[in-house]
Amino acid sequence: MSCTGIAAALTDLLFHPELDLDTAIDRHFAPDYRQRTDGVWADRAGFAEHIAHLRTIVVGGSIEVHEELSDGSIYADRHTIDVHKADGSTVVMEVYVFGEFAPDGRFRRIEETTLMLSGTAADRGLGSARA
């Protein structure tokens, strides 16, 4: 089983706007995907809504994975994401992820906690923001 990783998933979702959103999500996330970010749960439809919103405000950025571990279907990482927004501002967050892969190697579940390193108070909820 070849599994996806957080850097590949976030790059497709946020930094390749020419890639159709549904295609990007299907590439990295199983049909029964669910995510909890800072205590807020979203199913796959809610996650898609979140990413669609981010695509309206994110114009670029980068991801640095500091640690990444997997054992069978279990996944964990710590990464920093630097987001460049359409309004010219930037947000930098450190993210701690625990997840589970579906049998086909896509993410089935992610639970994450975010720590904002730079940005405004309004950016604190960026990890689960929707329109």
Question: Does 105 map to a domain?
Answer: yes
| Residue at 1 is within a domain | no
Phi, psi of 53 (to 5 degrees): -65, -45
- Number of folded domains that form the chain: 1
CATH number for 49: 3.10.450.50
Check pLDDT > 80 for residue 2.
no
Is 24 a domain residue?
yes
44 assigned to some structural domain: yes
Q: Which residues of 105-127 are buried (b: 16+ CB within 10 A; e: fewer)?
A: ebbbbbbbebebeebeeebeebb
pLDDT digits (tens, 9 = 90+) for 29-81: 999 999 999 999 999 999 999 999 999 999 999 999 999 999 999 999 999 99
Distance CA 91, CA 117 (A): 8
- Is 68 contained in some domain? yes
80-127, pLDDT tens digit by residue? 999 999 999 999 999 999 999 999 999 999 999 999 999 888 777 665
Q: Say what the alpha-carbon torsion angle 37, 38, 40, 46 is, to the nearest 10 degrees.
A: -30
Q: What is the pTM of this model?
A: 0.90
Domain carrying residue 93: 6-128
